[in-house]
Amino acid sequence: MSDEEEDYMSDAFLSKMQDVKPGVSMVRRVKEALKKETQQKETNVKNRQKTYKEQEKERAGRVDPIPLNIKTDRGGIGMEGVKKRKAEQELENYRQKARAKQQNETKSLEDFRSRVRTEREERKIEGDLRRSQRACEQLDSQKMKKTCAPTVLGIQQQTTIEHDKKKYARWFPVKKQLPFTVG
């Protein structure tokens, strides 16, 4: 054999080759060691102390300076908060009253509309009733003039009126009970 050719049967030749076949599993200890090493590197990166410039890049600093609040009154330290809460409470009460007032106004407006509507209906029914009564009276008076002699107005007039009431009763029935009072 020549020195130029390597011996493919020797251990040196086999150790140079790496196993690159897919699906071949690594030894369990090697896998765990690699996993532990990567976790250690990640924790070291997270836990290391950052420089001042890195800290500035991560967050935005204050743009405006902290304002100075100089007290000019004699109220005390916590009085501003109490006054603010009291003002908010009064504003909320005012809003609730305004809402209640608006609801009452809409309710009263609806009540007014319904009341006016019923009054109009009642007036219309009363007008119809008066017109029909007037028509009945005219018919009765015309019938009386035809049947009654002008000299005799006593018994004969009453009998014709009673007769006419019976005759026209089916067209103009006696007063029915109305759902309202005529006043």
Of the chain, the end-to-end C-alpha distance in Å amounts to: 142
- The per-residue pLDDT for 86 is 96
- Please identify which residue in the block is written with the tokens 């809409």: 106
Output the tens digit of pLDDT for each of the chain's 183 residues.
556 677 767 777 666 666 555 555 667 888 899 999 999 999 888 888 878 888 777 777 677 888 888 888 887 888 888 999 999 999 999 999 999 999 999 998 899 999 999 999 999 999 999 999 999 999 888 887 765 544 444 444 455 556 666 666 665 555 555 555 554
Q: What pLDDT shows up at residue 150?
A: 46
CB of 13 closer than 8 Å to CB of 7: yes
Question: CB–CB of 125/178 below 8 Å?
Answer: yes
Domain ranges of the chain: 86-168
pLDDT of residue 118: 95
Place of tokens 């000019």: 72
